[in-house]
Amino acid sequence: MTTKTFLRQPGFLLLFACTLIVLAFLGLIIYDISAKGIPALSYEFLTGYPREGMTQGGIFPAIFGTAFVTIVTTLFSLPLGVAAAIYLSEYAEDNWLNQLVRASIRNLAGVPSIIYGLFGVALFVQAMRMGTSVLASGLTLGLLTLPYVITATEEALKNVPRSYREGALALGATKWQAIYTNVLPSAASGIVTGAILGLSRAAGETAPILFTGVAFYLRYLPASVFDEFMALPYHLYILSTQHHAIAEVRPLAYGTALVLLALVFLLNLLAFIIRYRYRKLNRHV
């Protein structure tokens, strides 16, 4: 049945309208932030420090801080997530313990981000005495992204044909060698896609870093992982709700929102391209 015959019935027009409204939300967000954010962009905005009580100047420390904390997040959650996914895909038998592991991962993905923030405060900031720092925030965000990395990696590993593993095993490789030489390289693009999507989530999150390390305003860039940092999402929150001259800094807030949105969309685009090319390559196998 073609789309046309469907749309002759009024009920289906309603479904189409629902879809259009959902797309309109997306369009509205992108349009409003782009239209009012682009005029705020300038070389100085992207590379300068906030000045005059954050009513002028740029957002470079926030860009830097977000990049820094996202790198810490990746260094923590990527190896851990990939290792867990390898276990689930390659080793785990279907018993109660592994079902518990799977259930935990699914439920971790549903835990509210503010709860990760509370956990980060209690564990990293207080109990492990990291203080409010890039490290504490990075690890908190790492926990948050972990279920996404695991799920994406497991999916990628599941797509590697059995014969790849069996070929290596038949040549006398141990299981680990088979995984390392044959399975992981073929799953690499899938893993990278998942990691990038995890990163884009981490870069946009505000609630988990709120009390674990992000700062209102800093005159210096964080020199090590033990310093506090500024971040794009938090900067946007501050500029749009907590600032003493909200109307005056609105253009800056729009600019910050645009940079944040662009960053997240670029990461998603990158993941999309990698996935698309991988799918194309795989068709010829």
Please tell me the total number of residues recorded for the chain in this structure: 285
Rank residues 125 and 223 by Cβ distance to other proteins and give the closer one.
125
Rank residues 31 and 161 by Cβ distance to other proteins and give the closer one.
31
Rank residues 223 and 275 by Cβ distance to other proteins and give the closer one.
275
Question: Please, what is the minimum distance in Å from the beta carbon of residue 261 to other proteins?
Answer: 6
Question: Please, what is the minimum distance in Å from the beta carbon of residue 237 to other proteins?
Answer: 5
Question: Please, what is the minimum distance in Å from the beta carbon of residue 240 to other proteins?
Answer: 5
Contact, 268 vs 193, CB < 8 A? no
- Joined together, the tokens standing for residue 42 give 């300038």
Question: Please, what is the minimum distance in Å from the beta carbon of residue 29 to other proteins?
Answer: 5
Rank residues 43 and 145 by Cβ distance to other proteins and give the closer one.
145
Rank residues 1 and 223 by Cβ distance to other proteins and give the closer one.
1
Question: Please, what is the minimum distance in Å from the beta carbon of residue 125 to other proteins?
Answer: 10
Question: Please, what is the minimum distance in Å from the beta carbon of residue 217 to other proteins?
Answer: 14
Rank residues 52 and 110 by Cβ distance to other proteins and give the closer one.
110
61/231 Cα distance (integer angstroms): 7
251/38 Cα distance (integer angstroms): 9
